[in-house]
Amino acid sequence: MTAQRPILLVTNMVPPLIGGTPMVYDRIARHAAGRLHVLSAWRDPDLARPIDGWRESDATRPYPIRRISWLRPPIVERLRRRIGLLDLLLIDLPVMAFVFVAVIVQTLRSGARTIVIGELQGLGWLAILLSLLTPWRIVMYTHGEEVVQTAYNRLARLRGPALRASDLVIAVSRFTRDRLMRDFGVAPDRIRLVPPGVDLERFTPGSVSEPFVLSVGRLIERKGFDRLIEAFAMIAPDFPDIRLRIAGDGPMAATLKREAGQLGVADRIDFLGGVGDAELTDLYRRCILFAMPNRTLADGDTEGFGLIFLEANACGKPVIGGRAGGATDAIVDGETGLLVDGADKAAIADALRHLLGDPVARARLAQGGLAHARDLGWDHSAKLFLEAVDG
C-alpha cells in the first residue's frame, strides 16, 4: 500500500536550474502535502561543474531535498574523445553504481515505497535497475521533448526499455501519452495524465492593457519567434500603434534581432532579454494578447505542454499558439485562444490580424481562457499526481 507514504523523486531538474521541468517538479513538491522527497545533484552534468546557488535555493524549499555529487554521468566530451570506449568503464559505470546505491540509501531513509524518475533520457537506466533489483514501485515522469527527440547518446537509447520496465508512466499531455503508446509501446493502462498547473496566486488579471503583443520563452527554433517576427512584419502597417515584445534569452537572440532589422520592424520590436518573475507577471497583465507559434522540428523536437499559455490565460489574455506538440492540450482552440500552423507565417499573421482587429473576439477568448486556467491550478495537478502514484 503506497498511500500516504513518502515518495522519492530522483532528478537533476530542480531549482535553481531554470526551465519548465524544474518548475513543474518544484510546484508538485510544494503542493504534494509534504509527501515528496527530492534527491538531486549539486553538479550540473552538462557543464561538469557545481550549480550556482544550489545551497541558497534548497534552503528556501518547503520540502526535503538532498543532493549528491552526480545523478548521471557528466558530458565531458573532450575527455571522452581521448579515452574512447573506455569512458563506459572509467566514467559511466562508476557514476551509475554510485547513483544506484545513493538512491537505495535515500529510499530507505525516507521510508518511501515509490520512486519517481524525473529524467527519461539520462536516468532511464536507473528505472530498469530499480525495477529488476528492488521491490519498490517505479514511476517514470515524462514531459514530451525527451519522448519525441531522436536518441543522441547511449543512455538515451534505453528509453524504450526504461518505459516498459516502469510500473507507471506519467505524461504531461495527450500528445506525450499518444507518442508513448505509438513509439514505445507503452500500454494505455500504464499511463496517467498529469498536466502542469498554473500558479493562480501569482498569475491574476490586471486592470490595464497596453498596445503590445507579448511573446515569452527561450529563444530557440521550436518556439517560433522567427515566424512570429515575419508575421508581425506582415501586419505591422495595419496596426501602427502595436508593438511586439519578446522576453527571453537563447542562442537565436542575435539571429532574431537581425531578422527584425532586415524586415524593417526593428523599431517596433522590443527584445527584453531574461525577465524576473514580477516583471513577467506584469508583462502578461499589460499585453493585449500573447503569442508563441511553436512548431515541431525535423528531429521531432516540440513543446511538451505549453504552460506559458495557461499563465497568460490566468492573467486574462487570449493566446495564439502552434498546432504542435502539447500546446494543443494547453489551448482550447476558439475558446481560450487560437491554434495555428506555427511554420506558416501567413496563418500566424491572420490570427494576429483577427484578434488585434476584433476587440469582441479578444474579450471572448480572454474570458474563456481565464475560466479555463482557474480550473487548472497546482493543487489540481498535485492531486492528480498523488492519485496516479498511489495507484
pTM: 0.83
User: What does the block give as the cell for 205?
Assistant: 488579471
Q: Which amino acid is at 261?
A: G
pLDDT at 185 over 90: yes
Select from 2.60.40.420, 3.40.50.620, 3.40.50.10190, 3.40.50.2000 the CATH code of 7-197+377-390: 3.40.50.2000
> Could you tell me where the beta strands, DSSP code E, fall in 135-179?
137-142, 168-171
User: What does the block give as the cell for 370?
Assistant: 481565464
- pLDDT (tens digit per residue) in 331-386: 999 999 999 999 999 999 999 999 999 999 999 999 999 999 999 999 999 999 99
Q: What is the pLDDT of residue 55?
A: 97
Q: What is the pLDDT of residue 83?
A: 63
- pLDDT (tens digit per residue) in 126-136: 999 999 999 99
Domain limits of the chain?
7-197+377-390, 212-374
Q: What is the pLDDT of residue 312?
A: 97
Q: What is the pLDDT of residue 85?
A: 61
Q: What is the pLDDT of residue 372?
A: 96
Q: What is the pLDDT of residue 77?
A: 57
Distance separating alpha carbons of residues 222 and 99, to the nearest angstrom: 33
> Could you tell me where the beta strands, DSSP code E, fall in 137-248?
137-142, 168-171, 191-193, 212-216, 243-247
Contact 227, 348 (CB under 8 A): yes
Mean pLDDT of the region 187-207: 95
Mean pLDDT of the region 152-156: 65
Contact 149, 303 (CB under 8 A): no
Mean pLDDT for all residues in the chain: 92
Select from 3.10.20.30, 3.40.50.2000, 3.30.70.260, 3.50.50.60 the CATH code of 212-374: 3.40.50.2000
- pLDDT (tens digit per residue) in 298-331: 887 888 788 899 999 999 999 999 999 889 999 9
Q: What is the pLDDT of residue 1?
A: 43
- pLDDT (tens digit per residue) in 201-242: 999 999 989 999 999 998 999 999 999 999 999 999 999 999
Q: What is the pLDDT of residue 73?
A: 79
Q: What is the pLDDT of residue 118?
A: 96
- pLDDT (tens digit per residue) in 28-85: 999 998 999 999 999 987 777 899 999 999 999 999 999 999 998 776 556 555 665 6
Q: What's the N-to-C CA distance of the chain in angstroms?
A: 9
pLDDT at 151 over 90: no
Confidence tier at 171 by pLDDT (50, 70, 90): very high
Percent of the chain topping pLDDT 90: 79
- pLDDT (tens digit per residue) in 256-270: 999 999 999 999 999
Chain mean position to CA 160: 21
Q: Which of 22-31, 142-151, 155-164 has the lowest mean pLDDT?
A: 142-151
Distance separating alpha carbons of residues 125 and 128, to the nearest angstrom: 5
Q: Do domains 7-197+377-390 and 212-374 have the same CATH topology?
A: yes
pLDDT at 146 over 50: yes
Q: What is the DSSP code string of 300-311?
A: ----S--HHHHH
